[in-house]
Amino acid sequence: MDAPSRKIIHCDCDCFYAAVEMRDNPALRGHPLAVGGRPDQRGVVATCNYEARRFGVRSAMAMSQALQRCPDLIVLPPAMEKYRAASKQILAIYRDYTELVEPLSLDEAYLDVTRAPHFKGSATLIAQDIRARIAATVGITASAGIAPNKFLAKIASDWNKPDGMFVIRPPEVDAFVATLPVEKLFGVGKVTAAKLKKLGAHTCTDLRDWPMIALQQHFGKFGESLYRLCRGIDTRQVNATRERKSVSVEETYVHDIPDLDGCLQQLPDLLQSLVARVRRAGAERHVRGLFVKLRFANFRQTTVECVGTALDAPQFARLLETGYERGRRPVRLLGVGIRVKEGEEDLQQLGLFDPDARSDD
């Protein structure tokens, strides 16, 4: 298991976009509120406050569905400049305590405070102080989890939301993890969770009965991760220099694009937006691949990619044609992007502060 001296904090602001809006307009407080796209343009919920969540509204839900569940829902468009400004304030607070800060989104980050001198090295007191400073300086609340590794810290930050904190001390790890459902394990989505349950593994205790070789036979390389995580072991480091691996743009259309010709007509506008984003990211000289993403009217999604070193419009068109042939039906979403070379230090961290960034709360 991880060394007991390791101290990781996961900080996550509560309903970040909505919290900033309620801060700036207190009249919104106490009313169900969602920030996101317009319901008549296939918009989705970026985030919502807890009043909205009582009606079953959640992030990534279609805004039209959210309004069906909560007819009195107040819908606001994202105001990214405000959110970026608040995020920069929050990151500055984090970095007062440690240089080892790994941002995950505008409102969420891991901090390694193992060697932080503040409060005699108490990660719990550091997290309390961070939350108090965010409330006083930014005017919103944040929740925090403290644990010996990233996997557990992230689970802990969600344990007492909103405006709460939870600590998992090294001696408590084994018992805490044993009761967790398998869907709480890092990297386990709906498909893997369903497969695990079909095999009789509903909790981490169940999963511990499986030898590593058996998990590898069923889940490949991920089997080793499952073996470790169900025992509370996570050796991932807090990475303060996360590297961008792709740059992309995408568009969800109000009306489905009926055929391939219609998709090809949308390509020039998408590529123009992509070129602008690639330049902002300083990624022009680091292109190593191209890709196109399509989501069809039946919500099936496919991505086609190839090796490439430049934004080649004819190549994107060929990728689009290949992707369309996989579904051959109307298209609701198109995306284009590039893969970038790893290890390039001069790439800008565009993903954290671009207008497409979304809060995961």
> 342 versus 340: which is more confidently predicted?
340
pLDDT (average), residues 283-298:
91
Please name the residue ranges forming H helices in 47-146. Answer: 50-53, 63-69, 80-94, 123-137
Q: Answer whether 281's CB lies under 8 Å from 347's CB.
A: yes
Of 316, 173, 172, 342, the C-alpha closest to 248 is 316
The number of residues making up the chain comes to 361
Choose the catalytic residue: 21, 108, 224, 342. 108
Chain-centre distance for alpha carbon 290: 22
Backbone angles phi, psi at 151, to 5 degrees: -55, -50
pLDDT of 242 reads 62
The DSSP line for 294-337 is EEETTS-EEEEEEE-SS--HHHHHHHHHHHHHTT-S-EEEEEEE
CA distances from 26 to 23, 139, 178 (A): 6, 11, 42
**What's the confidence (pLDDT) of residue 9?**
98
Residues 199, 97: Cα–Cα separation, whole Å: 44
CA distance 192 to 230: 14
- Please, what is the average pLDDT of the chain? 89
Residue 179 has pLDDT above 90, yes or no: yes
Q: Which residues contact 122 (CB under 8 A, 6 or more apart)?
A: none
Q: What is the mean pLDDT of residues 211-218?
A: 93
Query: Which one-letter amino acid corresponds to residue 113?
Result: V
Distance of alpha carbon 159 from alpha carbon 97, whole angstroms: 23
Inform me whether the pLDDT recorded for 341 exceeds 80. Answer: no
Residue 224: active-site member: no
Contacts of 339 (CB under 8 A, 6+ apart): 245, 246, 287, 288, 289, 290, 291, 305
Please name the residue that has the structure tokens 């330049």: 279
In this model, does residue 272 exceed pLDDT 90?
yes
Percent of the chain with pLDDT over 70: 92
Strands 33-36 and 74-76: parallel
Instruction: Output phi, psi for 291, to 5 deg.
Output: -150, 155
Instruction: Say yes or no to pLDDT of 197 above 50.
Output: yes
Q: At what angle do helices 123-137 and 80-94 cross, to 10 degrees?
A: 150
CB atoms within 10 A of CB 53: 16
Instruction: Confirm whether residue 206 is marked as ligand binding.
Output: no
Question: How many CA atoms does the CB half-sphere of 27 hold within 13 Å?
Answer: 2
Q: What structural domains and CATH numbers belong to the chain?
A: 1-170 (3.30.70.270), 186-229 (1.10.150.20), 246-342 (3.30.1490.100)
Task: For residues 302 and 253, give the distance between their C-alpha atoms in angstroms, rounded to a whole number.
Answer: 17
Euclidean distance between the first and final Cα of the chain, in Å?
28
Whether the pLDDT of residue 347 is over 80: the answer is: no
Answering whether pTM is above 0.95, one says no
HSE-CB at 10 with a 13 A cutoff on CA atoms is 24
Q: Are 40 and 73 in contact (CB under 8 A)?
A: no
Asked if residue 181 has a cis previous peptide bond (ω within 30° of 0), the answer is no
Q: Output the six-digit token pair for 232.
A: 């509370």
Q: Looking at 116-182, list the stretches that DSSP marks H as alpha helix, in order from N- to C-terminal side.
A: 123-137, 150-157, 173-178
Top pLDDT among 242 and 70 is at 70
Residues 6 or more apart whose Cβ sits within 8 Å of residue 344: 243, 286
Q: What six digits make up the tokens of 240?
A: 């303060």
Does residue 121 surpass a pLDDT of 50?
A: yes
Instruction: Return the amino acid letter for 137.
Output: T
pLDDT of residue 284: 86
- Using DSSP's 3-state secondary structure scheme, residue 113 falls into coil
12 is in an annotated binding site: yes
User: Average pLDDT for residues 117-139, to the nearest whole number?
Assistant: 96
